[in-house]
Each structure stands twice: as C-alpha cells, then as structure tokens.
Chain A
C-alpha cells in the first residue's frame, strides 16, 4: 500500500495496525504531537499540550513514540515479552487528542487512532488493559455501567424530578444521562440541573431510567472493542426503538460515542435520533428565546474545554456563548484553549489506572486557571469535574469548580 493508493474503506473499530502502516512508518518526528500549535503559543510555561510527555519527558509517552512503538510491533522487531513496559506507556494517555489534532493538521497522520488501535490489539492479545481497568470492563459487562452499581440505582437522581419515562410514553427529546452522573451522587446536581433547565424551557423530555445502558465510551477508549461493539449495537436498537427525534447528553464521552463512534462500528444500523450535547442544546434554547436568564450574579469564570467535547467534537463556542449570556458573569480565557486545551488528566482510563498522574495534570490546569484571575472553573464533563474537583479539594486555592448547568440554574433561580 502506498500513499497514492486508496486505503480500503474500513471503519475505525475494524481497523488494525496494518491499516496505519504507511502512517506509522512515515512519522516525521516533528514533535508537534507534544507541543502547542505554534501560532497560538503565548508563553514558555504553557507551550506543551501532551500531559504524559510533559510529566515523564521520554518519547514513548508522546504520540510520536506510539507511532514508533507501533511500527516495531507491527514489523516484529519486538514483541510483548521483550517490551512489557509498553502497556504502561500506551495507557498513560488520556486520549485527549492533542497529538491527533496537530499531527492531522500538519502531517495527515493519526497518532491517537494508532494508540487506540494498539490498545485494542493488546486487549485482543490478552496483554492489555491495565489490571486496574479489568474491574471496569467486568462491571460494564455485568451491570451495564462501569461503576459496579446495580441497574436499579440508575434513576435515583431523578426521584423528585418529573422527567417522563421514555420506555412507556412517547417523548420528543431523550435525556441520555450517562453512567457517571447517574450513579455518582456527587454529580447528581448536574443531572438534576440539566433536567430542570430543559423542563423549564418546556422541552418534551424523557429518559430511559433503569433501562439506559452504558454508551461504551470507557471500554472503547481502553481498547475493549468487543464490549464496545456489543454496547453500541444494543444502544442503537434501544434508542431507535424509543422513536425520539433527538437525544441530549451532558457527558462528552457519551456524546462522542453516540454522535461519532457508533458510525465507526461495522455492520450496525444508523442511530436515527439527532444527538446534542447539553451545551449545544441549551445554546439553541437561548438563541430561540426559550430560556431567559434575567438573574444577575457577579462572577469571573474561565471555561475548561473537555477534550471529548471540544477537540474531539468541535463544541467550543456554544458553552462560551452561554456563559456570556448569563448576566453578570465574565468569561476570561486560559492560555491553552479549544483545540490546544490542556486535558484535565482524567480521560482514557488514566484516572482509573494512574490516579497520581491524573491529579498532577489536573493541578496544572487549576494553576493555569488561577492565572486568569477567575473565581471559578466551569466545565461540562463529569470526568473533568471529578478529576479537577478532587485535585482542587487537595489544594489551598481560592477558586471554585462549577458545571455549566450550575451557573444556569443560579441565573434561573434568581429569576424565580
């Protein structure tokens, strides 16, 4: 296969390392997989974008290193026995996609896809994922969620909120809650906020409650394709059968899975409902005049782009415009934003397997946020909120952490 010959039209979840052969041989070592895009660098301190390389300083942790290890493995230069440490290198990646962004932009190559394909190969070959991930996979298989929680607990957050049951009655819009914010009661405020905001705007809202199942994002990112494909297949059938026109979710992992990853699963039908992230959906409601926020507060905030929402899916402006639309709230930007945003450190299975590294990465983000003079970091991702929130709780910093919906609810409640 040469660059000129058309690659076979394979979907991502059926691709193997061989499908990236030309790309991994062709890595130009330009190192832009580690660095902030040159046009946007504003300081030496924040000139890097790869959390793993930033911390460990050797190439196997970078996108470039993954390409080189993939080449050697593909060509048989070494195998797992010769390089057992490789598993750790591959899984100390938050899958933030900064490497993929800059490499695709410059070299038309795919270091993150290569890393995820390597992970899939390792799982298939029985050498991956990290031991810490095995419980997560088992939980997804047994309970349809990664948190080892019984299905009956999935809708506890909604006891006092009149969201319709989409299993029983026809609704226009389905709230796909996602596992983390359904089961983690420290995140219920986000789930409840979202439902209340949408109901306030008179959205015909329903949910699947106990019958919702994991979108598959956690297992996809750590390379268990078999489980992911199974979940995608079940979800597509389940969601199509509801007859809803649109799905809203506030978890960027769920959003990416439903909107983009399911398309990359071979042999499954199309997901029919249109998928929105909460930020997109609320932005639309505000634009249509269905959500008014006369309540005034005095707050300076900075927006943390969740990687799977921003860089992966292109939702940069909507949350910013929502924040600007809240009276009295001032938005100030960090240096590394949007396509060059610094990851919270929690994604890609890193928080599960490498909590110290995850927390260090979050700490750096908090320090970056502090330099803006903001009183609060605002985001819209349960994993970012968990990881940054945990790091923040260990720091003596005068800065708060909010979900986007927290601000909106405050503005709406002030009106009430």
Chain B
C-alpha cells in the first residue's frame, strides 16, 4: 500500500506585485515556478530550514525569485516591496545562519547576474565588485596585477565578498591582513526603504576610494553585522595588498583528477606553496604549550598566517568521508599544533629571517616541526594546505554530513582554553552527533590568530545526519548552549553567527549590552515597513510577540544551565 506524501504548497505574490517586478527586471528574470523556489529554500548551515523541510512547513518556501542586473534595478525592486509591503531577502549562495522567509509571501533577490569586477584600482590598491563576485575571481584578477586581497575564507569560489560584508570573512592570513571586515573601503547599499547609501571617501565627489570611516559618522560600522536587515550591498570596494607570488597562477604540480580517480589523494598534494610562500607545521605535547607558542609567534611580528587545526585537517586532507572518520579514530593528525605561513613580502630574505625566529620560538617553547624526518607521512597528508593556505579550495571539504552548528567565539588567545572546556562540557551534556564533534575537545579547536594575535577566533562544530530531524534539533541545542556559554564566560561576540541574529540578539541582551534595543530603533528608521530580511538581525516588538514560545523556552533553559536568569 502506498502512502501519499504531503505536498508543500508555496504562497504566491499578489499579481500587481509580480507585474511591477516584471516591469523592472524583465519577465525572463522572475521565477515563481515551484521547483525554482525550492532551490532557494533549504539553506546550508541553518538547521531551522532543514527541520522545517522535515516538518513540511511551507513557510520556508519563498514566493518568488527575482534577478536584478544593477543597483538601479535593486532599488526599484526594494521600492516595490515597500509599496506593497512584501518582505524581501537578498541572496547569493544560501549559506546563512538564519531562515530566509517569513509567514508572508517572500521575495528572494538573487544576485547571480551582478557578477562583475567593476574596477581594479592599482594606484590606490583597491577593487570595486558587484555582489556575486567571489574570492577566486578577485584573486585571479588582482594577482595578475601584482596585488591580492589578503586572503581567502573557507572556500575560494564559494564565498562572495559582498555577502561577507556583514559578519563573515575569516581568512587563513588574518594574522597580517585582518578579517575581511577590516579590508572594506566602501559600500554602496540599497537601504530597506529604497534609498541609496554610499559610505567612506567615495561619497565625496571625485575623492575616490581610500578612507572607510567618514565623512560624518561611521555608517559602514553601523551597517556591518546587518545580516541584510539594514540594506543590500550592491557594490563593495575592498582593499588590495602587494602580491608576491606568480603573476599567473601555475598549474597544480599534483595533476588533475577525473571522475575515475577523483578520490585519489595524489591530486590534493601540491608539493609546495605558491612562490615566495612557505608553510610550517609545528606539534606540541599539550594545549597549554600550543597556546603559549601561538602567543609568542603572533607577538613576534613574523608570518602572514598563524592558525591551528585539529579535526579540520582530517576533513580537508581526506578525500572521502570514510577516510575522514578513519583518521579521526586513529588520531592521525597532531592533536596540539599550529601552522605558520611565511611570505617574502618585503624582501627575498624575509622567509629566511622569519624561519630563524620561528625555529627559535618553537625550540624555546618546546615544540617540534613536522619534517621529512619527523612524521613525514603526516606532513605528506597535510599537503592540501600548501595551496589552501592562500587559495582555500578544499576548505569546504568538511564532514560530508550536515554542518549544522558552529561555535565561533572570538577572544584573547588564552580564551581558547575556555572554548575547549565549554565544548567538552556541551559534549558531556548532549552527547556527540559524530566522532568529528570531538574536534576541539580532544584536540585543538580551530584557532585563527587575528591581527598580530590581538585576538583569535575559535571554532568547533556539530555534524548531524541531515536526514534525521532529531539529530538536527540536537545540533541546534548545541548552538543555543554555546551562545549561553560564550555570554556567561564573557568571550567576545560570536563573530560569524548566532549572537548577531535572532532570537539570540534579543535573548542574550548581556552580549550587547542591550544592542538589540538600539538596533530595533535603527530598524524602525531604516525599515519603516519591516520588509528587509524581517526578523534576521533584530525583531520588531510584533515579531518578538509572534516568536514561538517553545523556542524561547529552550533558549531560557540553556541560559539556566549556564546560571543565567530567564529572559522575559
């Protein structure tokens, strides 16, 4: 006997809205078909949309997808949304931490047609980009001109720079160049009411792009972490830096795979990093020594990149899921380690000098270098990093289950110990979803040393089976618990997630302090009709009242577990 499965029916936009949108973008760039909106509904990293898919909740389906081609078209679309009170959500890849849709028919504004590098200014070392330009595109074009943007995040051609304007943009080379948010010169935004805002020196006629803060108040700072709530970035100007590698990217020495042998590790083993770069792997006996070494290296002023990775090496350097799991079980990679990226930025002798400093630090602290004579098989397996330390390609080779939750607090380097302790506690409390969840508890969390080690970012993650909703909910529990633990321990804001989005913004007022109340006021001014990515960064009073009590109760339970009073 066959059981008829329940369909999920999308809502439709009112016809007058559709007609108005058609007049702006042209009929061929507006889609309402059921299968199209489906592909804009189940997101990555966001457990909520997975659970809702399992529960057949129609509210995850947008009503319509529109593809504008210019800032003017985006502006016109946003004005239509205001006129008809249609909520809209800006969209590039769909890798977000919050659900894109609302109870009302929602419009997705997809930027895939806005994918041009508008200009590269070699004199002022900056590039202006449309929102669908990714790191791979920018780097290739900048490198040809002797420049680069200073780093890549998790995945070169995955990440669109404009999408990272809000709160992502973590690079391998943050030690020298800082986070992406420190590398933005200006943005052009379409505000939620359809007005256009240009920030920085660019808004002074003929002044050009060189100064991000004024004139007047730092509007870009206000807009950062907006998660799409405060406007849509339609142009972004980013800093470029001197590039010391080849002006055209050489082919990979490891060769090219085919579908016949795609999982052969030999294709992921570039012999060495790009020209004028060198990568060192250091191993330590315990976490304390690792942290001490990282602090010393960061403060010494050497290197363009300093990071540590435990379980991530098992992901990035393993070509199959089975291989990842095996390496985790065997603890194949050093549990306590760091890797250091050196570059000849100022002189051909720079690497030589900095290597001497590095070796002295590691010797004094009591660490060891992986080398051809010490754990050569491990060093061989780590070779994907030779390219990934600059052009982060295998960076999305994570656990092939579902990257459903991440703890991403920032703090001084010593607070890595706090992150590790709290993650262990969470694992003891909830139980692991996968062996890889132990990463960051039994080995080092992922640590990025930022801006010469003034602070670091730590990462630990959960990977539930995406076909099992209970596992996903458990991962969400980890996330909420993590938010509470971070606030309780006075760690810095969760850089990339959670504490910047609802319901955390409202339910953890201590993280602000009370920044959600300020942002609520800002939202009233910028978005009088509450149409811009509603409820993402901050709830209106009305949205807060409508938010499910069950979720509020779960968050309060996690607060209680961390000795924090309930939020009313």
Contact = CB atoms under 8 A, between A and B. Distances in A.
A83 B137 CA distance: 34
Contacts of A82: 7, 34
Interface residues of A, number: 67
B101 to A, nearest CB: 15
Interface in A102-121: 104-109
Contacts of B270: 39
A358 B29 CA distance: 20
Contacts of A58: 31, 36, 39, 65, 67, 110, 112
Nearest to B28: A56
A76 B39 contact: no
Contact of A32 (B7, B117, B155): B155
B551 interface: no
Interface string B134-178: 111111110010000000100111100000000000000000000
A106 B141 contact: no
Nearest to A28: B44
Interface stretch (B260-268, B415-423, B509-517, B520-528): B260-268
Contacts of B65: 58
B320 interface: yes
Contacts of B402: 25-26, 28
A26 B5 CA distance: 21
B550 interface: no
B133 A40 contact: no
Interface stretch (B246-254, B298-306, B334-342): B246-254
Contact of B138 (A2, A21, A44, A89): A44
Given A47-B157, A78-B8, A339-B256, A59 B39 contact: yes
Given A57-B67, A311-B259, A313-B260, A41 B35 contact: no
A271 B321 CA distance: 32
A78 B140 contact: no
B257 to A, nearest CB: 6
Contacts of A339: 256-258
A323 B182 CA distance: 49
Contacts of B393: 37-39
Nearest to A310: B258
B246 to A, nearest CB: 11
A339 B116 CA distance: 25
Interface string A329-363: 00000000111100000000000000000000000
A376 interface: no
A82 B37 CA distance: 12
Contacts of B396: 28, 30, 32, 106-107
B251 A26 contact: no
A28 B403 contact: yes
Contacts of B536: none
Contacts of B31: 58
B467 A25 contact: yes
Given A30-B155, A77-B56, A44 B140 contact: yes
27 contacts: A21-B467, A29-B95, A30-B93, A30-B155, A38-B152, A40-B252, A41-B136, A41-B139, A41-B140, A41-B156, A42-B248, A43-B141, A57-B112, A59-B39, A68-B41, A68-B42, A76-B4, A77-B38, A78-B38, A85-B36, A101-B262, A107-B396, A313-B258, A313-B260, A314-B259, A337-B256, A340-B256
Given A30-B155, A107-B400, 15 more contacts: A21-B467, A30-B158, A35-B134, A35-B158, A41-B139, A44-B133, A59-B36, A68-B38, A68-B39, A69-B39, A72-B38, A105-B263, A106-B394, A106-B396, A109-B400
